[in-house]
Chains A and B, each alone.
Chain A
């Protein structure tokens, strides 16, 4: 059971405090309710580029890193399709330094032309490092465009193309900041060796006078239900053929999400999972196969991806995957396998909660989803899932009309 206190400042900033006196450290986590899904289709990659600019100096503090390091702290940030999260970990005695730094950059950035110019280049290098200079690096760009026709999940967080990042202007930066980076669209979590009263006072002192801003009203075009199977074939300079299949699944807070999570465990979680055992070990069709999902706030994707053994025909490999899906659609899983995936989930949750940083991060994300206390009720939801639910959800999920298949052929 994770204990926490929750309050809200007059400007709408939601604050959560989680006390843990077993650690000498404290974590300050600020989550902004904006991700790549909120971008203009012609200016993709912006939420992530913006995250980089948050380190380029704020209105009263020209250098973010030096004072934090002087206080013995470390920090980082990440952007997803759904949200942007910033976190600082430092010795608890120095927690006020984190308040000072984070509140100033919420108040206003310095909007430096130099910082934009440099970070455009840095992000372009990041783009190249992760998506161009790697075999199969473009597969996800293609998969998203195949599976989503309307919803902004159709582009990657890094952006659709390099030119969108190269063209970013300072005026875009300012507009984005004042639209999304306001207290009313943010959640602050402080965790570790701290006291709620102390955090309440620090939150008022440093964040209290920041103008509330306007609540962002998210109106995203929803993805229409997919009616027929989609297929795409590509060829590239890669050593092996690869197969990608993905299926539309439930949104993060829907019951179907929890069931799909267990389904990915049945199919691809570990050495005793079905795809691993049957397709790698028994039939020897793949050298590697995985099943996972995007964990998205809106309706996400469940993905199966694998690399084929040299010489195996793509259609045979695909057919063998289909056969496994057919099994999970037609035969209820037995008690033992169900208990296994639930036990795995229980332990994954417990191990994840070991670090204060993860706890702070999870509290912020659950609060964004509607209630930080979901952190304490998640396990119960998984444990209540029945074999029948897995069967029913599998039927919908793996309906051929809901499938997107990418044959990624090697040119060699």
Chain B
């Protein structure tokens, strides 16, 4: 009979050699860089065009998001239906997303269809026309969608906390309104498109089991477009960050609400700050995963919530440490109190070795899992490159996770987990 009270031997995560598979860089004729990750065994492909076209560059709210979303809603040769049908006929997914610094176009397809699809992407990047009709449908539908979202306490909480952290005028803190949608004009989208897509700064990631000739295909379709390399006029627009002066807020959003959406957050420096990687380890112990202290105490011991997490936001200019949960209305104040208690514990007592070991191993294990697959590796590289970092940063973060000690983490807690520095918001 096997003795079930004894755990099997494990290989400690600190012994794992983590390797970030390299990319191959290829520069198109127009200077646009292609980062190619050749990995995997399936005939699936991801191509990601990254443009410096996020809302940091817009002069009017929502223009960046609308220009991104409607980019595939018509060229002079194909209407929105024909474009959608083309991508869908080949079973591919052509997605758009718009963030703060960058905005993306991403194609997922079977390798065998890629040469049918790239010409359409090229057409979109040279000849998108933003039909008035499509814009009017977009405005209406977005307004309706927003009306539904505004009924959700978690949606309201998430946008308000960002505004407190960065200021309502900052691209990180700005949020949408019905009026902003109503005010969008076709001309503005076309101008934005011309400047930030058609002649925009771009870089391309291609990942998967790369079919032969893929680089030539990219050259053929994108090498002669008037796109610019991403390093061009490395103009980093750093908008002034203006955090709110008031720290604590309670908002009654829905008179019938049964839960409070709680957000507790503080500003935090970006990835280039020496404390960032260390904070990721401390955050792990605090609220970064299922075995963290916040989850253990507030969900697994008290049952106040279905889930509670803390994380460092992904901002290029600046980050923030965010604690986020939905808790029963009656227990919302008690939940907030427990969050501060956990901060206090981390400030006052060093983390025990076993707990720290668990957080370390968990971190290394998840990185190992996250690096599993070509798209995931491309995602890692993208995050590094867009933040002006390289593989040394990746290896340094692993070194920090493996070696940081309780004393240093306690020092960090005393520096950053200070209740008075946090914004606190409950939306019911």
Q: Which residues of A contact B (CB under 8 A)?
A: 22-25, 59-61, 65-67, 69-74, 89-91, 93-94, 96-97, 99-100, 103-104, 107, 117-126, 128-129, 132-136, 205-206, 209, 237-240, 269-272, 277, 280-281, 284, 287-288, 307, 309-310, 336, 339-340, 343-348, 350-351, 353-356
Asked if B312 CB lies within 8 Å of chain A CBs, one says no
Chain B interface, number of residues (Cβ within 8 angstroms): 71
Closest beta carbon of chain A to B245's beta carbon, Å: 30
A307–B151 CA distance with the chains assembled, in angstroms? 15
Instruction: Report whether A288 and B303 are in contact in the complex, using a CB–CB cutoff of 8 Å.
Output: no
Of A22, A67, A205, A284, the residue contacting B41 (CB under 8 A) is A22
Residues on B with C-beta less than 8 A from A71 are 10, 13, 361, 365
Instruction: Report whether A74 and B11 are in contact in the complex, using a CB–CB cutoff of 8 Å.
Output: no
A69–B289 CA distance with the chains assembled, in angstroms? 10
A72–B11 CA distance with the chains assembled, in angstroms? 9
Q: Which residues of B contact A (CB under 8 A)?
A: 1-2, 4-5, 7-11, 13, 16, 40-44, 80-81, 84-85, 88-92, 108-110, 137, 140-141, 144-145, 147-148, 150-153, 254, 256-259, 289-291, 299-306, 326-328, 357-359, 361-362, 364-366, 368-369, 372-373, 375
The total of Cβ contacts below 8 Å across the A-B interface reads 211
Closest beta carbon of chain B to A71's beta carbon, Å: 5
Q: A22-B41, A72-B13, A239-B151 are in contact. Are A129 and B306 (CB under 8 A)?
A: yes
Given contacts A71-B10, A99-B8, A125-B303, 9 further A-B contacts (CB under 8 A): A25-B372, A61-B5, A94-B11, A118-B303, A124-B328, A135-B148, A240-B144, A347-B109, A354-B375
Instruction: Report whether B258 and A133 are in contact in the complex, using a CB–CB cutoff of 8 Å.
Output: yes
Instruction: Report whether A240 and B365 are in contact in the complex, using a CB–CB cutoff of 8 Å.
Output: no
A72–B110 CA distance with the chains assembled, in angstroms? 33
A66–B300 CA distance with the chains assembled, in angstroms? 13
Closest beta carbon of chain B to A410's beta carbon, Å: 10
Instruction: Report whether A280 and B137 are in contact in the complex, using a CB–CB cutoff of 8 Å.
Output: yes
Instruction: Report whether A120 and B303 are in contact in the complex, using a CB–CB cutoff of 8 Å.
Output: yes
Instruction: Report whether B91 and A348 are in contact in the complex, using a CB–CB cutoff of 8 Å.
Output: yes
Instruction: Report whether B368 and A91 are in contact in the complex, using a CB–CB cutoff of 8 Å.
Output: yes
Interface of A is mostly: helix
Interface of B is mostly: mixed
Instruction: Report whether A117 and B326 are in contact in the complex, using a CB–CB cutoff of 8 Å.
Output: no
Residues on B with C-beta less than 8 A from A66 are 291, 358
Residues on A with C-beta less than 8 A from B304 are 121, 125
A25–B13 CA distance with the chains assembled, in angstroms? 12
A96–B7 CA distance with the chains assembled, in angstroms? 9
Instruction: Report whether A129 and B326 are in contact in the complex, using a CB–CB cutoff of 8 Å.
Output: yes
Residues on B with C-beta less than 8 A from A309 are 140, 144
A270–B145 CA distance with the chains assembled, in angstroms? 18
Instruction: Report whether A25 and B151 are in contact in the complex, using a CB–CB cutoff of 8 Å.
Output: no
Instruction: Report whether A132 and B258 are in contact in the complex, using a CB–CB cutoff of 8 Å.
Output: yes
Residues on B with C-beta less than 8 A from A100 are 4, 7-8
Residues on A with C-beta less than 8 A from B153 are 133
Instruction: Report whether B88 and A344 are in contact in the complex, using a CB–CB cutoff of 8 Å.
Output: yes
A269–B54 CA distance with the chains assembled, in angstroms? 28
Instruction: Report whether A97 and B8 are in contact in the complex, using a CB–CB cutoff of 8 Å.
Output: yes
Instruction: Report whether B44 and A288 are in contact in the complex, using a CB–CB cutoff of 8 Å.
Output: no
Instruction: Report whether B302 and A118 are in contact in the complex, using a CB–CB cutoff of 8 Å.
Output: yes
Closest beta carbon of chain A to B116's beta carbon, Å: 11
Of A67, A74, A96, A354, the residue contacting B369 (CB under 8 A) is A74
Residues on B with C-beta less than 8 A from A118 are 299-303
Instruction: Report whether A125 and B81 are in contact in the complex, using a CB–CB cutoff of 8 Å.
Output: no
Residues on A with C-beta less than 8 A from B366 are 72, 74
A185–B279 CA distance with the chains assembled, in angstroms? 45
Residues on A with C-beta less than 8 A from B85 are 272, 340
Sample 18 A-B pairs with CB under 8 A, ordered by A number: A61-B5, A70-B10, A70-B357, A91-B13, A100-B7, A120-B303, A121-B303, A125-B306, A239-B147, A271-B84, A281-B137, A309-B144, A310-B144, A344-B88, A350-B42, A350-B44, A353-B42, A356-B372
Instruction: Report whether B10 and A25 are in contact in the complex, using a CB–CB cutoff of 8 Å.
Output: no
Of A70, A121, A343, A348, the residue contacting B89 (CB under 8 A) is A343
Instruction: Report whether B144 and A343 are in contact in the complex, using a CB–CB cutoff of 8 Å.
Output: no
Residues on B with C-beta less than 8 A from A125 are 259, 303-306, 326-328
